[in-house]
Amino acid sequence: MPVRNPSPLATPEALNQSWSVDFMHDALVCGRRFRTFNVVDDFNREVLSIEIDLNLPAQRVVRVLDRIAANRGYPVMLRMDNGLPFESTVFAHKDPAI
């Protein structure tokens, strides 16, 4: 495995400089699983959206981000863990700076 030299994360100095996005999952008492897609502004830790459903395909995630951006504008940077949910080609058409 290659050696990595992690650099510290930049601290945003204003709203919309960076948003963090992530998926979480849990289960109801009956055993039915659900997922959440969370979007947080890193400057003030404001929760911009929590989308909850049994299935959250990439096109829906893009719609959520576009809906937030319609009210606030797009962030300068989008932070994510680059996990499997973010490997969809649906994200490929978006601006690489986000």
The reported pLDDT for the residue numbered 80 is 87
Q: Which residue has the tokens 């510290």?
A: 8
Give me the tens of pLDDT residue by residue for the chain, a chain 98 residues long: 677 777 788 899 999 999 999 999 999 999 999 999 999 999 999 999 999 999 999 899 999 999 999 999 999 999 988 665 555 555 555 555 44
| 3: CB partners within 8 A, 6+ apart | none
Alpha-carbon distance 94 to 76, whole Å? 13
The reported pLDDT for the residue numbered 94 is 55
The reported pLDDT for the residue numbered 5 is 79
- Select from 3.65.10.10, 3.30.420.10, 3.30.450.40, 3.30.1600.10 the CATH code of 18-93: 3.30.420.10
The reported pLDDT for the residue numbered 68 is 97
